[in-house]
Amino acid sequence: MRHILITGGAGFIGSHVVRLFVNTYPEYEIINLDKLTYAGNLSNLKDLEGKPNYRFVKADICDFDAIREIFDSLKIDSVIHLAAESHVDRSITDPFSFARTNVMGTLNLLQSAKEAWKGNDDGKLFYHVSTDEVYGALGFNDQPFSEERRYDPHSPYSASKASSDHFVRAYHDTYGLPVVLSNCSNNYGPYQFPEKLIPLFINNIRHNKPLPVYGKGENIRDWLYVEDHARAIDLIFHQGRVGETYNIGGLNEWKNIDLIRVLIKTVDRLLERKEGTSEKLITYVTDRAGHDLRYAIDASKLSNELGWKPSLQFEEGIDHTVRWYLDHQAWLDSVTSGEYQSYYRKMYGV
Ligand code: NAD
Ligand code: DAU
pLDDT digits (tens, 9 = 90+) for 251-272: 999 999 999 999 999 999 999 9
Please indicate whether residue 39, judged by its CB atom, sits closer than 6 Å to ligand 2.
no
d(CA 4, CA 75): 9
Measured in residues, the chain has a length of: 350
pLDDT band at 347 (very low <50, low <70, confident <90, very high): low
Q: Is residue 273 part of a domain?
A: no
Strands in 9-120 per DSSP E: 28-34, 54-58, 78-81
256 CB neighbour count, 10 Å cutoff: 18
d(CA 250, CA 296): 8
Q: Which helix (H) or strand (E) element contains residue 267? A: helix 256-270
d(CA 126, CA 106): 11
d(CA 226, CA 230): 6
Q: Is residue 126 part of a domain?
A: yes
d(CA 192, CA 52): 26
Q: What is the mean pLDDT of residues 146-169?
A: 98
* Nearest ligand to residue 106 Cα: 1
- pLDDT for 299 equals 97
Digit-coded pLDDT (tens) for 211-263: 999 999 999 999 999 999 999 999 999 999 999 999 999 899 999 999 999 99
Chain CA centroid to CA 327, Å: 22
Q: What is the mean pLDDT of residues 93-114?
A: 98
* Nearest ligand to residue 165 Cα: 1
- Judged against a pLDDT cut of 80, whether residue 188 lies above it is answered with yes
Instruction: Give distance in angstroms: CA of 194 to centre of ligand 2.
Output: 11
**Mean residue pLDDT across the chain:** 95
Q: What is the mean pLDDT of residues 156-166?
A: 98
Q: Is residue 185 part of a domain?
A: yes
Q: Is residue 167 part of a domain?
A: yes
Parallel, antiparallel or unpaired: strands 220-225 and 186-188? parallel
Q: Is residue 174 part of a domain?
A: yes
The domain tally of the chain equals 1
Task: Please answer whether residues 40 and 20 qualify as being in contact, where contact means their C-beta atoms are separated by less than 8 angstroms.
Answer: no
The burial of 52, by beta-carbon neighbours within 10 Å (0-12 exposed, 13-18 middle, 19 or more buried), is given as: exposed
Q: Report DSSP state, residue 79.
A: E
Instruction: Report the range of poorest mean pLDDT among 60-64, 96-100, 246-250, 341-345.
Output: 341-345
Q: 34, 77, 133, 227: which one is catalytic?
A: 133
pLDDT band at 148 (very low <50, low <70, confident <90, very high): very high
Q: Is residue 272 part of a domain?
A: no
- Judged against a pLDDT cut of 80, whether residue 43 lies above it is answered with yes
d(CA 330, CA 334): 6
Please indicate whether residue 85, judged by its CB atom, sits closer than 6 Å to ligand 2.
no
Closest approach atom of ligand 2 to CA 211: 36
Structural domain for 106, as ranges: 3-189+224-251+293-313+340-348
Q: Is residue 302 part of a domain?
A: yes
CATH number reported for the structural domain that contains residue 153 in this entry: 3.40.50.720
Q: What angle do CA 144, 103, 74 make, to 5 degrees?
A: 110
- Judged against a pLDDT cut of 60, whether residue 40 lies above it is answered with yes
Per the annotation, the verdict on 133 as an active-site residue is yes
pLDDT band at 350 (very low <50, low <70, confident <90, very high): very low
Q: Is residue 67 part of a domain?
A: yes
